[in-house]
Every structure is written in structure tokens, then in C-alpha cells.
A and B are shown apart, each in its own frame.
Chain A
Amino acid sequence: MKKIYSCELIMKTELCRGVYDYVVKAPEISELAEIGQFLHINCGGKTLLRRPISICDFGEGFVRFAFQVKGEGTTELAKREVGDMIDIMGPLGHGFKTTEGEKAVVIGGGIGVFPVLGLARRKNTAVFLGFRNKDMVVMEDDFKEACDNVTICTDDGSYGYDGFAIAAMGEYLLENKADIIYCCGPKPMLKAVKQIAEHMNIPCQLSLEERMGCGIGACLTCVCKTTGTGMAEHKQVCTCGPVFDAKEVVL
């Protein structure tokens, strides 16, 4: 039987304004976790639904996740302090499917950088991270420790590469071969990466986000549009994803 866990918050850091990095004690979750899976968190307060939040990192006995305060749920979650217990279901969904020895490109945008940290640790990987501006750059140290080929990009050029991460990735791909692209970020980034991957004939996996209900595949609310027909035209992000083969989804 799967369980719902009450996890102690053991580390809380504000990465930049309104973006929090949490580490919770969660031995059962960390033992099963895979890169790209998510947690379904009861944020407390007056919220009724849980909120899906991607796993950023995990290790012996702990799970780490980060989130941006956006609505009621994340506002409530941000109120938790070290020592508080957090009600968590997980790990849920399907993560990134990696192959040993592949030459990978990892691209993340905004808060979409968190789920791809684990991918950055793999050999032969080039990482492109996009942020709106210098103040919103997060987890630079984590990524640079994980990988020696990290390009930080800002939309306004206030830090690192001047422009979109997609542009930096595009330039890299003109000079370098890649066996696969992994991406997590806002919809315009997902769309662009999917287009580039298809144009260059590179396999690609995208981590999607959608408003979610049960988190376990039963309520059929968090669907994405796919190339399938009939009932298969919509697939649950929670159980069929959140990571999909880019060729399968229609964005």
C-alpha cells in the first residue's frame, strides 16, 4: 500500500524573493524517488486541494523541493518553519527516462530549473538555465557544483548570457552533437524546445505542469493534449507524466 507521509521540515531557505527551498525528512520517499517525479503537498490553511511540486533533489533520508509563492497554496506552504510537519504524498508520476552514456542537453527556465538539477549531475551534459533577470537567478551554485558546463542566461542580459536560454542552447547545438534534450520551464520555452528538437531531429523529454486534483490518475483533471485520438487525446500529467516525450504532446 502507498502511504501519505508526515515529513519534518529540516531546512528552509529563501532563494530569491518569494522562492523557497525546502528540505524535508522523508526516508520512504527518497528511497523511491526518481529525477522528474513530483510530490503532492497538503499546504494546509484553507486550501482544499494538494499542490503538485517537483522533486528537486533527494538523498539518504531527505527530499528537497523548491517553489515560488504564487497563489493561496504556496502562500500557505511558505509559512512552514523548520521543525513543522508537512503532509506529503509521493513520489508520484513518471520522471525523466535517461540512457547511460548519452550526450545530453538540459534546459530549464525560471522555477523549472529545480526538477532538472539531478540531470545536471550526469556526465556529458550541457546545462542552460534561463531567468528573467539577475535577481531571479537561483541555484547557480548547485548547478555549477553538479556540472562544469552550465550557462546561466537572463532575458534582460543583467547576468550571464544576454538572452533566452533557448538561444544559448540553439547556438550550442549548432556546434555540438546531442543525443537528447531534457526540458522543464514555462510553456513558451517548452514549445520552443520541442520545435528545435523536432527540427534538429533530437529526442526530447518535457516536464509539464497543469492544475491538478487527485494526483494519482483518478480524477482526469490535469490532462495535457497529445497526438492520440479519442480518449487518448488527453493524458493525465500526474500519472502519464509529468515528463513526456516531446513528440507525444501538443502544446
Chain B
Amino acid sequence: MAKLEIDYCGVKFRNPIVTASGTFGFGYEYNEYVPLEEYGGFSAKGLTRTERAGNPAPRIAETPSGILNSVGLQNPGVEVFAKYIMPELKNSFDTNVIANISGNTIEEYAEMAEILSDTDVAIIEMNISCPNVKHGGLAFGTNASVVEELTGEVKKHCKKPLVVKLSPNVTDITEIAKAAEAGGADGVSLINTLLGMKIDINTRRPILANNMGGLSGPAVKPVAIRMVHQVYNAVNIPIIGMGGVMSGADVIEFMLAGAKLVALGTGMFRKPDLILDVKRDIEAYMSRFKIEDINDIIGQVQLN
């Protein structure tokens, strides 16, 4: 039997498949289609220090092989999550929960990390790259020295493995990844969405109420694969790869590029039970190439 287990920052994942924050709510919705135990874990909806109403609708638009979204971090706030949602998740499901946090200031990030450190979350994912909020993480995520300082400060308050989520909207993602590592990050996840825009030519207005939004889906996958590959060669901390995964083949591709865990996202909107196909395809791939342990393929792309 092929081994799918992954050790990520000391946390055991029964398989390398997780979900991308913001696409999976707090897990309950998709649990109605596939038990959450089928995943290695999931990243919950992005949290902020206090609750946020998010942006007006329309918040989503389809583009060629992708979608733009601009939800604007609508969430109940970190304390509601820590006090009510996480204990309930812990009681109901046997899976790893990754909490995703966004802040306006270093202090906010630190407070959130502290609050979540006293919960049963497996990992804290620090979003420094949300493109959809005015004073949001993107400003943090594009400056290497700020990333190092922020990561270092948050790390002091964080008793869980800290994963920094990187923005693709930068000139050189390896600089940011190295800065996160230097600041003490236990891992990095990438890519967040690419800032995009779609205009209705009849009304001459953008489709999204917020005008711009984050692009995800198969359209961004080659960019994500390239960045995972570059970051894998630049740092020694493990990577959660994501961006347009629609199949088991895509997961394998991310792992060959260097990802240790791979997140599903937009693909689940069309196929809520995507995880089942993905796992079946991975197992078929492993038996075809006689791979006994999925860990053996991580970063194993052979360059020309």
C-alpha cells in the first residue's frame, strides 16, 4: 500500500491534500459531500482580529480558466473562531485545522497568533498577501524586510508551527520566502491570488464591486508551479503549494516542483468531491511509477 502520510512541521497529515483558505468555509459545508477525514487537513476561512463584513457583491467573476474573487475577508473574528468554532471542529472531525490570519498591524497579527496558540489548531497560516482589503496583508507581503520583522514578532507569540502565505504579486518571490525563513517561519504557502480585473464592455464597469480581485484557478497554475519550484530551491522550510489544482496530476506536479502539502481551492467549486478523484489519481500514479512513499517525489523535478 502506497504511503501518503506527510510530516509537515512536526504535524502528521494522513495525505498531502489540504484546502486553500477562503474556498472551504470552516469545513462544514464540504463535509456534507465528502467527510473531512478524507483530506490531510484544511485551511479555514481567513480570520481577522475583529469581525469583518467584507466587500459588497458581486464578489466573483469567471475569467478564461479562472475566477476573480473579492470577498474582502468576511469573517466572525479570531475570538469567535477560537472560542466557539475550533472546539466544535475538534469535537466533530479528526483532521488538521490550519487557521489563516490577516492583520492590519504587527500587533494584530501577534495577538491573533497568541489567541490561536491556546486552541487545537494544528498550524497557523499568516496571510501577508490578501489583495482584497485596503490595509490588508498585501502591503506587508511585498517588502522583504517587513516580512522578516513581522514573522519574527509573530513567531515570539506563536506556539504553533507558523506558515507564511506568500503573494505572487512581487518581483522576486524567493526574496520574500527567504525573509520569512530568516524571520523564523516554519513553512511557507504559495501562491495567493494574482491581482486581476474584468470589465463588462457593455456597461464599461468592472464586474467586481471592488473593481479588482484575486485570480485563481487553472489559469494561475503555471505561475504557481514556477514559484513553488523557485522557492523550493531558495529555502529549507517546507512548502504548501496551491493554485489551480483540478486533478491528482496537478497535485503530483506541485509536489515535483517542491510542495510537501498541496491545497485544493477553486476546483472544488465545480467538483465538491474533487478530493476523491485526486486521491485515486495519485494512488494510480504511485503504482504506475512504483512509488512507495509520496515523500519521495517532493522536489524531484529533473531540469533540462
A interface, CB within 8 angstroms of B: 1-4, 42, 46-50, 72-73, 89, 210-225, 229-231, 233-234, 239
Contact = CB atoms under 8 A, between A and B. Distances in A.
Nearest to A211: B58
A89 B51 CA distance: 31
A19 B77 CA distance: 44
A46 B67 contact: no
A219 B57 CA distance: 13
B10 interface: no
B29 A214 contact: yes
A219 B71 contact: yes
Question: Main secondary structure on chain A at its contact with chain B?
Answer: loop
21 contacts: A2-B33, A4-B271, A48-B217, A48-B266, A211-B57, A213-B67, A213-B69, A214-B268, A214-B269, A215-B269, A216-B272, A218-B24, A218-B30, A219-B23, A219-B60, A220-B25, A220-B45, A221-B57, A221-B58, A230-B76, A231-B74
Given A48-B270, A213-B67, A230-B53, A221 B60 contact: yes
Interface of B: 22-25, 29-30, 32-35, 45, 51-54, 56-62, 64-67, 69, 71, 74-77, 207, 217-218, 266, 268-273
Nearest to B27: A218
A239 to B, nearest CB: 8
A213 B61 CA distance: 9
Looking at B58, B59, B207, which has the most chain A CB atoms within 10 Å of its CB?
A: B59
Contacts of B268: 214
Contacts of B64: 46
Given A222-B59, A222-B60, A231-B51, A48 B65 contact: yes
Interface centre among A2, A3, A219 (most CB of B within 10 A): A219
Contacts, number: 117
A218 to B, nearest CB: 4
B57 A223 contact: yes
Given A1-B33, A2-B33, A4-B272, A220 B54 contact: yes
Nearest to A71: B62
A4 B274 CA distance: 11
Given A4-B271, A211-B60, A213-B269, A220 B53 contact: no
Nearest to B65: A48
Given A216-B32, A231-B75, A221 B59 contact: yes
A2 B66 CA distance: 26
Nearest to A42: B270
A211 B25 CA distance: 18
A222 to B, nearest CB: 7
A49 B67 contact: yes
Contacts of A73: 62
A219 B269 contact: yes
Contact of B67 (A42, A48, A222): A48
Contacts of A1: 32-35
Nearest to B265: A219
